[in-house]
Structures are given as C-alpha cells and as structure tokens.
Chain A
Amino acid sequence: MPEQQTADDRTGPAQEVALFLRERREQIAQRWADAAVFRTVFTVSRDEAVEAGRAVVEALAAVAATGRVEDSEADGFTVVREQLARTVRSRTRAGASTGQISAETDALRRPVTELLLDELAEAPADHVGECTTALAVLMGTLRLVMLETSTVAGEELINRQRLELLEIATPVIKLWEGIVAVPLIGTLDSARSQVVMETLLDAVVEQHARLAILDITGVPTVDSLVAQHLMKTVAAARLMGAECIVSGIRPAIAQTIVHLGIDLSSVLTRASLADALAYALQQQGARIVPRAVAAAESR
C-alpha cells in the first residue's frame, strides 16, 4: 500500500525503529564502518565508509517510517540502490561470492540490534520483542536488496568478461613483411567468427598484408557453420586484394569436413602454420634455405 505514513501519524514498532535509526545514525554508521562490507569497499578513508553507512541508515529509517519494513521495492531504498550496487560490484570484483556478500550484509544486523536493545533497556519485554522483530525484518530486506543487485552485478561481470575474452582470443601476428596470421583457439561461434573476420581484415589494411593465415590448430571442431565463416572470411579478404590461407587442419577435422560434405575447394589450405608460412613467403618471392645450402648456392 503506498499510503504515506510518517512517524508522527502512527507509532508502531516500525516507526519507533525509524526514530531510533535517525537518532543513533552517527553511532550505527561508526560501528558499520568497521564491518567487512563497508571496510573492504571504502578503502581510501574511514570517513568515506562512515559516510556510506550514514546513507544506508538514512534509507532504512525512511523505509521503516512508512511501515513497509518487508518491502524490498520501497521508495526509501531508491536513494541508496546505486551505492549498494557499487558496493556489491566492488566486492564481486574482489572475488567475493554471493553467499559471502549475503553473510557480510547480515553481519550489519548485530551492531544495530545491540544499540536498539540498549535503547529499550527500560521498555516492557513484549515491546522490545516487537521492535527487534521489525528491525530484523528490515535488515533482512536490506540483505535481499543487496542480493538482487549482486545478481545483476554478476551478469554484468560475465558480459564484460565475455567481450574482453573475444578481443583477447583474437591476436593478429605479423609474421613477415606483408604476411599476417591469426591463430584461433577454442570454439568458433557466430559472434566470435564475426570478430575474427573483422580483426583479420583490419590487419590486412593496417599491415598492407597481401597474405593472411587463419590457423585453426586450436579449434576443436569444424562444423558446417564454422566452415561457412571460414569461406566468408576468405572471400572478403580476396575482394580486398589479399590471399587467405587456412592452416592447421588436423586429420580428424579433415575427416569431419569430408564426411559433412563441406566443399572447401575455394579455400587454400595447408596442414600446418609452418607450411602456410612457407607458401606465403614463396608468394612474396622469398625463400627459406639452410645456411649450408645458401652458401653452396652463392659460390
């Protein structure tokens, strides 16, 4: 229910907790600054951690004041959501698991509960029970909010790493003047094939490479989709005026290609990267000969 209730309208246990949180904000923030979830994230200065703690206490007080201590979607959380997300991301990057972050958030509950019990030392037992329950639910909701952001942060991390991996996994190596090679390692899917194609063709332009070698020694399987991508790359390179050689076709892969009935006749292939390089050098008018032979020839 989105009814606007304030501590002045009604004074249930939740509202009392809200009052308590506002009054003891400074004290709570000081204690939280030493808790793992704040200490490990705000490493520059302790003041920063205290400041972050204050903001969270403020948010919890705002949520409690509306009486919706169990609502993780409560408006009060909106202002700290970004800060919590940043905290979670930072912990995730540092290698903390979701369970660990959950436990660290839970650890914030004890210092506040202790302060609340001190505050209510004189109050009747059932009132103390109601208030501590409200606080416990509120802290549980905070934990839920943290976990929600943690899932999102995890997905973001995976996406970013996937993109980084795509780039790392496609190095272009200049083998000789006018000869570049791209050694492929791992499975080729559509997205990666696109990156490989673009990387190789850009290198052809940058390095003025007339010859480009795609080495697939590290590719576990070649299905018709991969073969199609290889053929497209070769065709595009040819349109640009470069010759593309596919090397590193292992016997098992050669068998698969024949078995699947894939026609790679439009593609120049060589068994190994060394063979491909020898061919490319020959096309460039260069030749590698053992020193003894060279000496004999020059005589």
Chain B
Amino acid sequence: MTHSTGSVSACLPIHSDLDLVRARQQVRQMTAQLGFGLVEQTKLVTAASELARNALVHGGGGQMECTEVTGGGVRGLRLVFSDRGPGIADLDLALSDGYTSGEGLGMGLGGARRLVHEFRVDSRRGEGTTVTVTSWAAAPPRPREGR
C-alpha cells in the first residue's frame, strides 16, 4: 500500500492526566471526521490512551502527533508518541502480555498493538521511546450512480 502522508494536523503535549483526556478527545474527534466506524474509533482512542499513559508514566512525559494519511484510496490516522525517558530495555518482554513495570494490568504496549493496523516501536536506552501507530477507516461504500 502506498502511503501519502499529510502534514501534522495536531501536536499535543502529554504531561498530566488532563493531557491524557485531551489526547483521547483529539483522537476521537479526528477518527470520527475521517469516517472510522464506532468500533475502530474506540480501538484507536483506547490505544492512544495506553500509549499516552506509557509516555507519561514511563517516559516522564512527551507528546502525541496526529497526522492524516491516505493509502490505496483509504484514509487513516497516524499517531506518533514520543518521550525522552529511559527507553525500553527489553522490547520483546515489554510487548508480551502481563508485563508491567508500573500500575495497570500489563496490557499497555502489547494490547495497544492489537488495537491498531500498523505498529512500530523505536527505543534507545537513555534516549527515549517513539511509538508510531496507524489505523485505517474501512473503504467507504461508493455512492451509487444517481440517475
């Protein structure tokens, strides 16, 4: 699928639990505008909540960038979460279910991966972590030829 990336339409700081609420509302609003179904909206909002909280709790705060993308005629939303925290020591371990280094049920990273269509983690010890996720709105049904 060829991706054409639009410009970043929103960039939100993540430094408090108020910012988590803002991040969720931003993603909800954008997915609704892009024509995501209710279930796909909820999945991406939930994934954003997990990843934003990760950036806040483990990365000491960071930011979320939202970008509208287009691929194969389908519109989607790309979210990039970045922090300048300690990084993830063992990525495989962090992605496995039940692993947790903080509060929660240990579903943050691995769970978020199952809620989105594309998922990528870049992490360097001591430099921080960047998680990029993308989800697509299902192809909208073409309007019937009105004659």
Interface residues in chain A, defined as those with a beta carbon under 8 Å from any beta carbon in chain B: 86, 89-90, 156, 159-160, 163, 194, 198
- Chain B nearest CB: distance from A279 CB in Å? 29
Residues of B within 8 A of A89 (CB): 145
Interface of A is mostly: helix
Nearest residue in B to A153 (C-beta to C-beta)? B145
Interface residues in B123-147 (C-beta closer than 8 Å to A): 139, 141-142, 145, 147
> Quick check: is B39 within 8 A (CB to CB) of the other chain?
yes
Residue among B39, B142, B147 making CB contact with A160, cutoff 8 Å: B142
Q: For the complex, give the distance between the alpha carbons of A160 and B142 in Å.
A: 8
For the complex of A and B, list the 9 residue pairs with the smallest distance between their C-beta atoms, beginning with the closest. Answer: A86-B145, A89-B145, A198-B39, A163-B141, A156-B142, A160-B141, A160-B142, A86-B147, A159-B139
Task: List 11 A-B pairs, Cβ < 8 Å.
Answer: A86-B145, A86-B147, A89-B145, A90-B145, A156-B142, A159-B139, A160-B141, A160-B142, A163-B141, A194-B39, A198-B39
Residues of A within 8 A of B147 (CB): 86
Residues of B within 8 A of A86 (CB): 145, 147
Residues of A within 8 A of B142 (CB): 156, 160
Nearest residue in A to B141 (C-beta to C-beta)? A163
Q: Across the A-B interface, how many residue pairs have beta carbons closer than 8 Å?
A: 11
Interface residues on B, range: under 10
Q: For the complex, give the distance between the alpha carbons of A154 and B39 in Å.
A: 30
Nearest residue in B to A191 (C-beta to C-beta)? B138
Nearest residue in B to A194 (C-beta to C-beta)? B39
- Chain A nearest CB: distance from B42 CB in Å? 11
- Chain A nearest CB: distance from B82 CB in Å? 31
- Chain B nearest CB: distance from A261 CB in Å? 20
Residues of B within 8 A of A198 (CB): 39
- Chain B nearest CB: distance from A267 CB in Å? 20
Residues of B within 8 A of A160 (CB): 141-142
Most chain A CB within 10 A, of B39, B139, B141, B145, is at B145
Residues of A within 8 A of B141 (CB): 160, 163
Nearest residue in B to A41 (C-beta to C-beta)? B147
Q: For the complex, give the distance between the alpha carbons of A198 and B138 in Å.
A: 15
- Chain A nearest CB: distance from B104 CB in Å? 18
B89-128 CB mask vs A (1 if < 8 Å, else 0) is 0000000000000000000000000000000000000000
Q: For the complex, give the distance between the alpha carbons of A199 and B18 in Å.
A: 35
Q: For the complex, give the distance between the alpha carbons of A156 and B143 in Å.
A: 11
- Chain B nearest CB: distance from A163 CB in Å? 6
